[in-house]
Structure 1
C-alpha cells in the first residue's frame, strides 16, 4: 500500500489527495452557500413575504420546499446542475429563516442577538472541525443514534407548530443544538476520512447542521435574551 492511501475500518480506501480535494471544495461551496442564505433572509425580512406562513401553512411550505430541494440536489449532485440547485435551496432556507430573524429583530437588542447566534454557530463549527481532524476513531456508528435524535426533534417541532409552547420550543432548541453539533462532527469526519466523496452532498449535510444550530441558538437567545423598549 502506498503512503498516500489509507484503508479505513469501514472498508473505504481513498487517496489523501482526493479526500483533501473533497474537503476543500466542500468548504468553498459552504462559504458560497451563505450568500444566497443571507440574501433570502434579507429579502424575507425586508418584504415580509413569509409573514403569512404561520401554523400548518408554513409547515407545509417549509417541508415541501426543503424535501423537494433535497431530493433534487441528490438527483443532480453529479451533474453541472448540482451547485445551482444547492444554492437555490440555501436561498429558500434563508427565506424560511426570515420569520424568526424578523421576530428577533423586533427586540431592542435584536441585532446583537443575531450576531451572537452567528458567532456561536461559527464557534461550534470551529470546535467540531478541529475535533474531526484529531479524532482517530470511526464515528460511523453514531449515524443511527443521530438520525433518531433528529427525527424526535422534527416530530416535536411539528407538534409545537400547533401547540405553540414557548417552553417546548426552548427544550427543542436546546436538544437541537446538541444533536446537530454532534451531527456536524460526524459529517465533517465522514469527509475527512473519505466516507463522503461528493462535495455537494457533503456541503448539504454540513449546511443543514449549521442551519439548525444557528436557528436553535437564535430561538433560545430570543426567548431568554430578548429585550423590549
Structure 2
C-alpha cells in the first residue's frame, strides 16, 4: 500500500512538473509576440535599401546575428537571462520582418494578406497543439525526419541566396511551412511527455516555427494573391 501511494505521488509530481513547463512555455510564447510586434512596427518605418544593395552580404550577416542570438538563448535555457535574451531575439526577428511587411503593404490588399497569414498561422498552431495534447501517439519518429529536413532546408536557403530562383524560393516557403508544422507537433509532445524540461528552449523552438510559418505563408499569399496597382 505504501509503495502504491509513493508511486502515485511520484506520478502526480511528474505530471505537475510537465504541466508547469508547458504552461510557462505558452506564457513566454505569448509574451514574445509583444517585442515582435514592436520590432515589426519599427521595421516597416526603416529604410532597408542597404539590404537591397547587397542582398547576399545582408542575408549572411542577418543569419549570423539570428543564429548567434539563438545560441545565446540555448546557453541560458535554464536561467532568467534566457528569458531576456529570448525577448531580445524576438524584437530583432520582428524588426527583420520590416522588408517583407513593406513589400506586402505596397500591394492594394497587403493588409488583408498580412491578417490572413497571421490568422492562418494561429489556426495552424492551435490545431497542432490540440493534436499533440490529446494524441497518445509517440511522435519521436519525427526526430530523424526533422534532422534531415533541417539540413536540406538550410542548404537550399544558402544556395538560393546566390541563385535567386523564384521557383525555388516558393518551394522553400512550402517546405518551411510543412517542416515548421512538424516541429511544433514534435516539440509540444516532447514537453508533454517530459522529453523537454526547459520552457525557454521549448519557447525558442515554437517561436521560430511560428515565425517561419507566418513569413512563408505571407510570401505565398503575396505571390499568388497579391493585387498590384
Partner of residue 44, structure 2: 45
Q: Give a deviation string over 1:16-40, Cα, whole Å, max 9, x none.
A: 1011111111001000001111111
8 Å contact kept, 1:4–1:17: no
How far did residue 137 of structure 1 move? 2.0
Q: Give a deviation string over 1:159-178, Cα, whole Å, max 9, x none.
A: 22222222211111111111
8 Å contact kept, 1:51–1:99: no
Q: In 2, Cα distance between the equivalents of 1:211 and 1:140? A: 23
Tell me, what secondary structure is at the counterpart of 2:45? helix
The 5 Å alignment of 1:62-141 reads: 62-141=62-141
Tell me, what secondary structure is at the counterpart of 2:8? coil
Matched, 1:5 2:3: no
Q: Displaced runs of 4+ in structure 1, greater than 4 A?
A: none
Partner of residue 36, structure 1: 35
Q: TM-score, normalised by structure 2?
A: 0.92
Q: In 1, Cα distance between the equivalents of 2:180 and 2:110? A: 24
8 Å contact kept, 2:173–2:217: yes
Q: Which runs of 5+ in 1 are unaligned?
A: 7-13
Aligned residues: 221
Structure 2 CA distance for partners of 1:51 and 1:115, relative to 1, 3 Å: farther
Structure 2 CA distance for partners of 1:111 and 1:145, relative to 1, 3 Å: same
Q: Give a deviation string over 1:146-193, Cα, whole Å, max 9, x none.
A: 121122112212222222222211111111111111111001111111
Q: In 2, Cα distance between the equivalents of 1:160 and 1:102? A: 22
Tell me, what secondary structure is at the counterpart of 2:80? coil
Q: TM-score, normalised by structure 1?
A: 0.92
- RMSD over aligned Cα atoms: 1.5
Tell me, what secondary structure is at the counterpart of 2:195? coil
Matched, 1:143 2:143: yes
8 Å contact kept, 2:35–2:88: yes
